[in-house]
Amino acid sequence: MSLQSKTLSGISWTFLEQFGSKAIGFIVQIILARLIEPEEFGLLGMILIFNAVGNSLSDSGMSQSLIRSDNPDEKDFATVFTMNFVISMFLYLVFWFTAPLISEFYDQPRLTNLIRVYSLVIVINSLFTIQKTRLTYNLNFKYQMKAQLPALLIAGSIGILLAFLDFGVWALVYMEIVTGLALTIIYFFQTRWIPKFTLYREKLSEHFSFGYKITLAGILSRIVRNIFPMIIGKYFSAAMVGYYTRASTMKEFPVATISGTLDKVFYPLFSKIKNDTIKLKKAYQRAQILVLLVLSTIMLLLILTAHPLFGVLLGEKWLPAVPYFQLLCITGIFYPLNKYNSNILKIKGRTDLYLKMAVITQVTLILGIILTVRYGIIPLILSQVVNSFIGALINIHFANKFIDYSFKEQFTDVFKTVFPGLVVFTILFSIIKLSPIFDDIHYFFQLITLGSVFLVLLVFIHLIFKTRSIQELLGLIKTSHIGKPLQKFLK
């Protein structure tokens, strides 16, 4: 099968896998949010940072090194698998013995056992990472969909059952463990790849030299991204952590589904054309415009309808999370600029610059946290919004060095793509604030009315001005196959 054919197939299957998995996860989380109190979600939110760091360390960025390699063989896969597993076991022991100290830090005795059990996810995930990497390298996303969806359905059903039985936060923990176990089993039967506990020095050196910089950058990113629940849990309350993590999860659903779908295919695809700068720039530019159009539209719509959306889906006990959610949605608009520009550095093998960029952006965020934490949660989240904007500027600066996509060009594309949505959002948001009539309308009808008016006006403006972004989107809609437009990306 040719590269184009694999890519077209990959787009289709990855969309189904990403949308299906995120939809299942979203529905499961909605049900769990109605069965479990915010305080219980908050307890898990306090320890997410440790699991996130553990997963980054156990992989050491070497899986991405495998994907960008020209011809990885069994020695490559065996070496990376063995290293991932050994590191994950070491990290599990570290978290086991430090669990009491972490519990004492939060003044939450229940966290000791939670950490010791939840950290098993790090070890379990290391068992199927290479199988998944092998499929990604070959652009075989059909098998990944057939693994992901059943695993999530099984784990989600068990999580909901345990929540009905009043397991509280343990329902969330066991659900994550079952997900990892199910994926391990399914990937084994799909790929029939039997791991070999073998290390080859030359292979380890090759992949580690590429991966450790990505790992350091990933650790910094995950620490800072997950440090907000930790800080909120330390200085505020478990309920506040629950509100924040719920707001973050709601925001991540569209961001991860849309951008994650394309990124999962584009990273290995762009890696294969990394030496053709002109082709890479053209493909990257069009991908970013499309993702930015869709994500900015969805994020602005979610900000506009946040109050009725939470009322309909989660119930009024979660309404305190609405302001957090609205602010976090702003960071979602900047996501394509941050993600795709930074990916250029990895594709080009410049992990040194990738690490440098990560250090700069995370240091600025930490400074923002230090300056705002004393003033409350809203200023704390605002520091995250500001940092997303700063990070986008930094990523654009670095990426421009390799694909000649200047700041002026990117700013022009971004402005033309996002500005129509901002105009419509400003008009409707002003009407909502100035008119009390919406307070007397049921949440569901508020959601339908605002959503419909916003989308109709936005499409009308884009069509009137014939923006490039809407032309690209219409090109996708007019095709009968979701992957066909990507052929133009590769020309």
* Amino acid identity at 358: A
pLDDT at residue number 130: 79
Which residues make Cβ contacts (< 8 Å) with residue 73, sequence separation at least 6? none
* Amino acid identity at 394: I
* DSSP calls for 82-138: HHHHHHHHHHHHHHHHHHHHHHHHHT-TTHHHHHHHHTHHHHHHHTTHHHHHHHHHT
d(CA 8, CA 401): 29
d(CA 251, CA 244): 11
Q: Which two tokens stand for residue 54?
A: 């553990």
Q: Which two tokens stand for residue 405?
A: 């996509």
Which residues make Cβ contacts (< 8 Å) with residue 411, sequence separation at least 6? none
* DSSP calls for 375-393: G-HHHHHHHHHHHHHHHHH
pLDDT at residue number 325: 94
pLDDT at residue number 482: 44
pLDDT at residue number 489: 42
pLDDT at residue number 69: 65
Count the alpha carbons within 13 Å of 181 in the hemisphere toward its beta carbon.
11
3-state secondary structure of 259: helix
d(CA 99, CA 113): 8
Residue 427 contacts residue 300 (beta carbons within 8 Å): no
Q: What is the pLDDT along the chain (491 residues), one digit of tens a residue?
A: 454 555 555 556 666 776 777 788 888 988 998 888 888 888 888 887 777 777 666 555 666 666 666 677 777 778 878 888 888 898 899 999 999 998 988 888 889 999 999 999 988 988 887 777 777 766 666 777 778 888 989 999 999 999 999 998 899 999 999 999 998 888 888 777 777 777 777 776 766 666 666 666 666 666 766 777 878 888 887 788 888 988 988 888 788 777 666 666 666 666 666 666 677 777 777 777 888 888 899 999 999 999 999 988 888 888 999 999 999 999 988 887 777 777 777 777 676 777 777 778 878 888 888 888 888 889 999 998 998 888 888 888 877 777 777 788 888 888 888 899 899 999 998 888 777 666 667 788 888 888 899 999 988 888 887 777 777 666 655 553 444 444 444 34
d(CA 261, CA 240): 31
Which residues make Cβ contacts (< 8 Å) with residue 93, sequence separation at least 6? none
Q: Where are the domains of the chain?
A: 1-237, 273-491
Q: Which two tokens stand for residue 144?
A: 């990944």
Residue 256 contacts residue 463 (beta carbons within 8 Å): no
Helix axis angle, 111-118 relative to 38-59, nearest 10°? 40
Q: Which two tokens stand for residue 394?
A: 């930094």
Q: Which two tokens stand for residue 427?
A: 């008009």
Distance (Å) of CA 194 to CA 62, 185, 189:
19, 12, 10
Q: Which two tokens stand for residue 86?
A: 């050994």
d(CA 19, CA 21): 6
pLDDT at residue number 481: 45
Give pTM, 2 decimals.
Answer: 0.71
Which residues make Cβ contacts (< 8 Å) with residue 44, sequence separation at least 6? 114, 118, 169, 172, 173, 245
Residue 313 contacts residue 445 (beta carbons within 8 Å): no
